[in-house]
Amino acid sequence: MFLLCKVLTKHSYVKTEIKKRFFYEKATVVCVKSINPPDLSEVVKMKRHESFSLFNRKHLERAHILIRILMGMPDVESFFAACVYARDRLNTHLFVYAVSVAVYHRNDTKNVVLPSNVQVLPHLYVNNKVFAPLKEELGVIPEKFRNPVENTNGPTASDLDIEHRVAYWREDLGLNLHHWHWHLVYPFGFTEADLPVVNKDRRGELFYYMHQQIVARYNFERLSNQLARVRRLNDFKEPIMEGYYPKLHNMATGRDWPSRQPFSFWRDLNREKSTDEVIIDVLQVHRWRDVIMNAISDQRLLKNDGTYVSLNSEQGIDYLGNIIEASILSVNFNRYGDLHNSGHMMMGYIHDPDYRYLEDVGVMGDNSTAMRDPAFYLWHAYIDDIFVAHKELLAPYTQAELNFDGITVQEITVKVDNGRDNEFSTYFEQHTIDINKGLDYLPRGSSPILISHLQHAPFTFNIQVNNSGAERNGTVRIFMAPREDERNEDFVFRHQRRLFIELDRFVVTLKNGSNLIKQPSKFSSVTIPFEQIFSADERQNNKTNYCKCGWPDYLLIPKGNAEGLPADLFVMVSDAQKDFEPGKYLPTVTGEKECKPAPEYCGLRGEKYPDKRAMGYPFDRLPRAGVSKLEQFLTPNMFVQKVDIKFDSKAKANSLKV
Ligand code: CUO
């Protein structure tokens, strides 16, 4: 037994040895509960100054040992003591990941809100050019006179690389924070002992849907910037034309994150001499892909116990999500392997597959950084294709299944604040955020950086619905897709359906007769607001960590272009009685102070996914025979409005500090 103490802020209790080491002028020693030291002998094999990668099975195994230890602590005081004991012994990134997963999943910490990860590990998000001027400011300029350092000081590429046109989106801090948080809420686990944090309702399907929406949104953003839809990496031998030079510092290794030359290609990974010990053959990934594609053609999966599970059902996608990712809920890991995670590894070590240059993993190897890289989208567009191959074998929805008898959607209008109807307005906006929590420089104190991000003018959907029957509840589903393809010709529906991005989903009561529904954009159940993403304050009450998972509100609408990018805004009202368990509707967001959940992409803590329909409904399956245009797909409970997305290139500065 031993006593653990945590250094805080009062002078008198400082132990000499702590003072000597950390040079604290003012500090206190806070004693924490005495516990038996947890066995970290396996976890410490991940060295403090190595690069941690969640897709690396060795690293994952070690992270999950710590997660199990932390989940197993009998009370919150013991949990805290174990965290303090582990903190200085372990790799920082591994520690932050494991503690965050445990805080998410323990019942007694569900109201604890961790600070935004950009405040904890800023090096994973912020351009490395920020840190030298920031050090200068901290060392020389008194706190109240410090100017924010611009994160955009050093772009990651020049316009010679056409992919750089969408770097503002790929490298957005809130976007990458969403991805980090999503994977904290939905870890894929290492052994069955991890089921308590992995086993959630429809988690395989949500893996498919959340990433499908990322690819659809990326394509929308590309079309806004005169780029073709992203190429799919369906040939693992083809060169990756897209290079990436992340300009990120790796705090653990003291080096910068490795880059990828254009025209690199996958090679067998044989890094046995590296501490990451990654060994994967390209052919192995091929085999996993083939066996999965064969299972899709057969519409059944072979389980571990020799029996089969059918894919020809609404639940098929959930099984498929778990075997493709792969999570420990895979019905047969030995057979279907580790396809998606291995793709991240192949991309992540592409610059040094046999460790001859002693290089660490690239940004594709980590959830916090992967979405910055164009390669992420090549890979996920292909992963999405596999899911679509399965979905296309399911029977199309009939008109009767899609319709909601007696309900007619007559109109949807987008009312834009200070703007024109049906014309979304986008622009760039700047904010100051403080990253001092994640910096170890002395003296400490306010460390402001200026970030720039896409934004849209607030708007309200006005939807006119007629109900010819008795009062009932309807689920309003709002999507948008680009109307024109790369040739400026109208999309055929078969392709356009894959580009629909979900903007909102909510339940309303429809009285008999005419109903005008007004839904403000800030209440979208897809998004969370800026302050919720970047808040550094971990002491807020009545909030849970699920609050940090959600699409950034400011990225709800794609950029569009100066002329106005034509898009189709789609609304459907379906029968809420069929969509939801009785009384288990989507949470209604009414105020601005509450923790705003974003259940569409993140689910709800401790509850079933709050919509029984297939995720992506009604665009998740091929249309019925004879439908080749969106207009032909519509039933009376649906409506399409032509809209434009107009981008204003004059940045509107905003001095909001978080
Ligand atoms: Cu979220 Cu590939 O899963 O990154």
Q: Which atom of ligand 1 is least distant from the CA of 379?
A: 2
Q: Which atom of ligand 1 is least distant from the CA of 211?
A: 1
Burial class of residue 87 (count of CB atoms within 10 Å of its CB; 0-12, 13-18, 19+): middle
Query: Is the pLDDT reported for residue 7 higher than 50?
Result: no
In angstroms, rounded to a whole number, what is the distance separating the alpha carbons of residues 502 and 217?
A: 9
290 CB-near residues (< 8 Å, 6+ apart): none
Query: Who wins on pLDDT, 469 or 31?
Result: 469
Instruction: Enter the DSSP assignment of 508.
Output: E
- The pLDDT tens digits for 112-133 are 888 889 989 999 999 999 988 8
600 CA from centroid of ligand 1 (Å): 17
- The pLDDT tens digits for 17-35 are 455 555 555 566 778 999 9
Annotation says 325 is catalytic: yes
In the chain, count H helices and then E strands: 21, 18
Structure tokens belonging to residue 640: 């399409």
Write down the ipTM of this complex: 0.99
Residue 523 host element (H or E):
none
178 CB within 6 A, ligand 1: no
- The active-site residue out of 137, 221, 325, 600 is 325
Query: Is the pLDDT reported for residue 4 higher than 50?
Result: no
Query: Is the pLDDT reported for residue 231 higher than 70?
Result: yes
622 CA from centroid of ligand 1 (Å): 25
pTM score of the predicted model: 0.94
377 CA from centroid of ligand 1 (Å): 10
Query: Who wins on pLDDT, 317 or 2?
Result: 317
Query: Is the pLDDT reported for residue 405 higher than 60?
Result: yes
| Lowest-pLDDT choice from 250-264, 313-327, 417-431, 440-454 | 440-454
Mutate which of 211, 214, 601, 602 for ligand 1? The one with the most ligand atoms within 8 Å of its CB, which is: 211
In angstroms, rounded to a whole number, what is the distance separating the alpha carbons of residues 559 and 172?
A: 13
| CB of 515 closer than 8 Å to CB of 637 | no
In three-state secondary structure terms, 232 is coil
370 CB within 6 A, ligand 1: yes
636 CA from centroid of ligand 1 (Å): 37
For residue 124, give the nearest of 171, 86, 57 by alpha carbon: 171
